[in-house]
Amino acid sequence: MADTGKIARNLERFAQAVAAHDRENPTHTAFGIGLAHFDMERLGFEESEEVLPGITIHADGGVTGNFRVLCDGQHEEGASESESEVVEAVATQSVPAVMPGTAQREL
């Protein structure tokens, strides 16, 4: 079992993150906290354990040392719009590659 001080600090951070998420995204409902499997074991949490009212712990593929607020909304709405604006650029002129510290030579 992990140190109770570590667990208390993490629960406080979870509550702050859920409150910030709900404040900034009133149309989305947070339902859980995503942790790396290693962090779940280190802190002594079980999958689907309720740590705050209505908030459960879930293992996800995230990196250790970080957690994510899981919700029922889409946060990537703006990203899909910007992805559609990407265009492919092809050069019409070639540019000689020069390594630093070497003299440019004719090919």
Q: Starting from the edge strand earliest in sequence, which strands make up the sheet with 50-52, in order?
A: 50-52, 55-60, 30-36, 67-71
Residue 79 lies in a domain: no
Task: Compare 102 and 9 and report the one with higher pLDDT.
Answer: 9
Residue 14 lies in a domain: yes
CB 51 within 8 A of CB 45: yes
Q: Which domain holds residue 14?
A: 4-73
Angstrom distance (rounded) from CA 62 to CA 58: 11
Distance of CA 71 to the CA centre of its chain: 13
Q: What is the mean pLDDT of residues 34-60?
A: 92
Amino acid 3: pLDDT? 83
Provide Rg for the chain, Cα atoms: 23
Amino acid 77: pLDDT? 55
Amino acid 57: pLDDT? 95
Structural domains in the chain (count): 1
Task: Compare 101 and 69 and report the one with higher pLDDT.
Answer: 69
Residue 20 lies in a domain: yes
